[in-house]
């Protein structure tokens, strides 16, 4: 029988899976309850409350009408796959911006697929692309993931960030004014931004990302707002007429206001939003999401010394200052009911891909979220920012079967979501990316 368990899971061929004896954390906000979840094809077919009809006697392929594979969760938590609101699959865990951009295209495409697997391995079954290092990396990654040819999260593709001359992403030196040296696509004026947006849409991106503020690590400070109203308006109207969503790197208060004025849905960072910006955002909170990318601030300020950013150095102190502002601003936003999502800027050496669930802990410890609220920021609101609120991010009948089986109670300790040994199974689209090792589970039970 033991061999049957092992061999059975690797095939993953069953069209139906029944999870029994699980505590269902459905991410509606309700406290976890005991029950069963039947997955048929790629969707959640049925949720039954109460203790199992099948007890612990169930086994692979055993006894179910319709031939469902039965997984005895033995009290583990079944919850939605986590969703990162600001993912850069082409950020290659390199020690800085330059080695991301300077990587040659062929290596970069392969590395992007490696990153996609790391993120899925960590229990992230979906993510919204926030920017790509080269025009088609995200588009091709998404295509190959969706075709089932490479493992990775459900993904919405971004293009490179669109930036202004001298803004974040324009790193070309004056004596080599070559566009290929830049992480961003550098524009000046409405016509240039119009052409760039159209080009990216032609390549197949799902969203357009604008760099509306600076960044302490670059030549332009985080509180500067370099893009003109005419440029932002042009980008927004070009994106909208092709039904594309807009995202923005927006640390400064002025850039947050630009997002609201021009209907830019995904506001990334927003650390320096002032009271006027918060009022505007609260009034439009059904149309926007905020993702602070807080791990980037913390780790750049405090944990990047091996890569040349010494804590206490001027740059690190800038990030400490922004972190303090960010914490204050996010607490205010949270009180105002503005939707705040986890995720952001993983993919540097000091914020490696696959550690994305750290945000959930940080939301609890630094931003005052309850564990449940922090988990909703990683699931329910993730489904919404993906544009799939009626089918992704919750355990509900009819929803897509993106599920995690977790050893323990994430509400009691959200940190277990960072431990891949505690994530017993990862299901995406009704298929196991990581099947449960039932022999190990049995050993745990008898131990």
Distance of CA 13 to the CA centre of its chain: 28
User: Is the CB of 79 or the CB of 250 nearer to Zn ion?
Assistant: 250
User: Is the CB of 103 or the CB of 404 nearer to Zn ion?
Assistant: 103
Rounded to a whole number of angstroms, the minimum distance from the CB of residue 368 to Zn ion is: 24
Assess contact for 160 and 392: CB atoms under 8 A: no
Rounded to a whole number of angstroms, the minimum distance from the CB of residue 193 to Zn ion is: 19
Rounded to a whole number of angstroms, the minimum distance from the CB of residue 303 to Zn ion is: 18
User: Which residue intervals of 219-313 are DSSP H helices?
Assistant: 229-240, 253-261, 275-283, 294-302
Rounded to a whole number of angstroms, the minimum distance from the CB of residue 200 to Zn ion is: 16
User: Is the CB of 96 or the CB of 408 nearer to Zn ion?
Assistant: 96
Rounded to a whole number of angstroms, the minimum distance from the CB of residue 161 to Zn ion is: 8
Give the residue nearest to Zn ion (CB): 345
**Which run of H or E residues covers position 43?**
strand 43-49
Q: Which residue has the tokens 């692309």?
A: 129
Rounded to a whole number of angstroms, the minimum distance from the CB of residue 86 to Zn ion is: 6
User: Is the CB of 296 or the CB of 381 nearer to Zn ion?
Assistant: 296
**Residue 247 three-state SS:** strand
Assess contact for 92 and 389: CB atoms under 8 A: no
Rounded to a whole number of angstroms, the minimum distance from the CB of residue 277 to Zn ion is: 20
The full 3-state SS of 18-31, as one line of letters, equals EEEEEEECCCCCCC
Residues forming the site for Zn ion (CB under 5 A): 130, 345
Nearest to 243 by CA among 285, 203, 201, 290: 201
User: Is the CB of 82 or the CB of 405 nearer to Zn ion?
Assistant: 82
DSSP 72-128: E-TT-EEEEPEEEEEE-TT--SBSSSHHHHSS-HHHHHHHHHHHHHHHHHTTEEEEE
**Residue 137 three-state SS:** helix
User: Is the CB of 322 or the CB of 407 nearer to Zn ion?
Assistant: 322
User: Is the CB of 62 or the CB of 95 nearer to Zn ion?
Assistant: 95
């Amino acid at each position: 029988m033991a061999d049957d368990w092992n061999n059975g899971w690797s095939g993953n061929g069953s069209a139906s899976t029944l999870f029994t004896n699980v505590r269902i954390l459905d991410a509606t906000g309700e406290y976890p309850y005991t029950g069963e979840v039947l997955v048929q094809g790629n969707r959640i077919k049925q949720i039954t409350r109460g203790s199992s009809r099948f007890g612990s006697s169930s086994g692979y392929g055993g006894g179910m009408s319709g031939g469902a594979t039965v997984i005895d969760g033995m009290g583990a938590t079944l919850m939605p796959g986590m969703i990162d609101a600001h993912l850069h699959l082409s950020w290659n865990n390199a020690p800085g911006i330059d080695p991301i951009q300077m990587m040659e295209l062929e290596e970069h495409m392969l590395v992007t697929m490696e990153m996609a697997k790391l993120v899925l391995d960590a229990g992230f079954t979906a993510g919204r692309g926030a920017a790509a290092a080269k025009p088609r990396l995200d588009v091709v990654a998404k295509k190959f993931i969706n075709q089932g040819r490479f493992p990775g999260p459900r993904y919405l593709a971004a293009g490179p960030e669109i930036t202004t001359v001298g803004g974040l992403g324009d790193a070309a030196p004056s004596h080599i004014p070559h566009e290929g040296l830049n992480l961003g696509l550098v524009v000046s004026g409405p016509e240039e931004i119009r052409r760039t947006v159209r080009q990216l849409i032609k390549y197949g991106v799902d969203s357009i990302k604008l760099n509306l503020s600076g960044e302490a690590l670059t030549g332009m400070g985080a509180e500067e707002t370099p893009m003109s109203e005419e440029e932002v308006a042009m980008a927004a109207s070009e994106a909208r007429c092709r039904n594309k969503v807009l995202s923005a790197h927006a640390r400064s208060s002025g850039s947050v206001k630009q997002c609201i004025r021009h209907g830019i849905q995904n506001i990334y960072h927003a650390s320096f939003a002032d009271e006027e910006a918060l009022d505007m955002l609260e009034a439009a909170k059904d149309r926007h999401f905020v993702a602070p990318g807080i791990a980037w601030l913390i780790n750049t300020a405090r944990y990047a010394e091996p890569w040349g950013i010494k804590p206490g150095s001027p740059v690190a102190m800038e990030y400490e200052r922004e972190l303090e502002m960010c914490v204050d601003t996010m607490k205010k936003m949270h009180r105002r009911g503005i939707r705040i999502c986890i995720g952001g800027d993983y993919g540097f050496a000091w914020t490696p891909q696959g550690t994305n669930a750290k945000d959930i802990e940080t939301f609890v410890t630094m931003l005052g979220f309850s564990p449940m609220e922090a988990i909703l920021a990683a699931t329910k609101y993730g489904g919404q920012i993906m544009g799939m609120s009626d089918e992704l991010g919750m355990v509900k009948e009819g929803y897509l079967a993106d599920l995690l089986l977790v050893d323990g109670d994430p509400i009691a300790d959200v940190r277990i979501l960072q431990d891949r040994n505690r994530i017993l199974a990862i299901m995406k689209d009704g298929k196991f990316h990581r099947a449960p090792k039932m022999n190990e589970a049995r050993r745990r039970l008898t131990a």
